[in-house]
Structure 1
Amino acid sequence: MKILKTFGKRYPVSAFLILCFGFTWSIWFTVPFFAGSDWSLGRIYVGAGFGPALAAIFMNQLCGHGADIGNKKWWLCFSTFFALLFGLYFSILLTGDGITAEKFSQARPAGISVTGILGVIVSAVIGSFVIASLAVSRSKALSSVSKWHVSIKWWLIALLLPSVWMMLGVLMASMTGEKIQVEAVEHNLELQTWGLYTARSILLTFLVVAIGEEAGWRAWMLPRLQQRFSPLLSSVFIGIAWGLWHFPLFVIGQYSDPPEMVFAKAGACIMLGIVFTWLYNRTGGNLLMVVLLHTAMNSSPRFVPFSEQMGVFLILSLICMIVFDKMWRKSRVQL
């Protein structure tokens, strides 16, 4: 343990990445062993592998300013979110799931089984452990996941910016005659079915995906990189790691694209990472805001028609953020 502490203090970012990738990849690469080719069951097990948040929690514990795990507040938070996550994951066993509305409409229930129940329990335990540990953390950066007293403009930006890009993209696409598609309409989903799929998708994205990633990439890694590098360069470093971290999902079939597309994923993460860095810095290091932005980016296609033209407005936004905030300049960051 002494060697681990020494390494963690001397090379904190390297230690964080080793823990982050080690935990996630060891879980995700074994998903087919438990779930086989069942995508829905695989998704449940994938929920147990969000290493960024776990690595951030561990590193803070290692440095002596982590969470007071096991106190009354921690157990209250843990039990509340365990019940919620257990219900969400269990519902996947009953209805099946899909990465898109089309896939969901074709999905078959995973069914009740020992493997399924085990996956539900493990993923619910890990997810609720992360949320509870962040909520009671002595780190202001991590505990800001529950800091909702933020100016209304940042709430609007976090929740609506992806939709604005998409609506502007639709406007441009309509002017060029491009076909516009809406998930629920295109695949003739009943309102009740679409509502279940959408509500569960948003909740799992917020509670598991967004919190599980952003607590590590933005609340832990970004401030430490910005002590040495500019916000722009820090975003590039995180974007590369963030993108490559997803590699197992391509291999095990949770993503439909071939594994080599992980490099395109890294490129997209670099661009999006700049937006997350801008918002995180602008809100004084508020984890909740970047978690909401992450959730909005993943969930907006459920409500707003998607068009590739939105990329134009994403790039314009990046340029404005970089130029007006002078993101190439190193800024003082307090941990």
Structure 2
Amino acid sequence: MIYDLIDQIVSLDMGQRGMSGLVEPARALVDEAICAAAARPLSTLERGDTVIIITGSLTRASVSSTIAENDGPVGVASLARAITHGFNAIPLILVDETICDKMAAITRVAGPNVVTRQQARIAVDTPRYTSVAVVEGGKIDDDEARAHAVAIVAETQPKAVISVERSGLTKDGTYRNARGEDYSAGRARLDHVVLEAAKAGIPTIGIGDGGNEIGMGAIPEAVAAHIPHGDVLCSQIATDVLFPVGVSNWGCYAITAALAVMVGDEDLIHTPDLERRMLEASPQVGLVDGTSGRLEPTADGLPLTTHMGLVELLQTTAQRAIRTGGTMPYKLI
């Protein structure tokens, strides 16, 4: 019940994009609350394990490939925080080369130090704890991207691969935005990392709020039926777990809330204060609101207070579940 409630909170379709029509088809893939299915591979992480997280929406690529939205990176930074703080594991974040600096900056706001893979390995092997995350860029050329995917999966042996607000290849071989427009220019083909992980039997998780993201290929009929331009923009890349949400950042927060309940650690829960600090930092590091195109502390056209309020609902839900053993949302007196 607690996990179902978490799903319900983040499936609120504030943008009225038709995402509510994707929730039941996505849930049918796993036959349980989606947040629980997404959190489970993370709940067994051990010291030194790696989790690959893919994100980055070059929302105004026609203007510049350095313009990226804050929906995705902010949530990923919070998820990376939970992975390193809770398990001393290594979050390896993959984005376009052009926005590595922005991703690294917002990750630091969440708490982890951004280091190289080699430095991360030293950190987890050192008795004195250091919070770390790795940020790397992907390849634009398809052949190079395939080779990169093979190498990174083989070298890191990730326990899970998670894609957040990352456009996936469509049936015509292009990348499409939520309006069905081709915005392929300058985009790293990180889809191959998900495909390579799937071949290796590694759990894959996709989070999206528009129908065009990696993972939506698991339910193409539902995307075509419920999302405007769905037949054109739907990604053909499927994932084991698909999490359709109102805002992609929220999907990350739902996973951290579910993970906190699973392992009984309140420190993993994203907080309203951290949400405020991260969204206020977004303009300073160069991440825009993807809806408005402005450098302001909003995400997907929704004000800061809306995001903080939703995060508070998740926090309260998870905290009460942990404190009461998950048996009820509050203690009866």
Using structure 1 for the length normalisation, give the TM-score: 0.34
Report which of the two has the higher share of helix: 1
Using structure 2 for the length normalisation, give the TM-score: 0.34
Q: Which has the larger radius of gyration?
A: 1
Report which of the two has the higher share of strand: 2
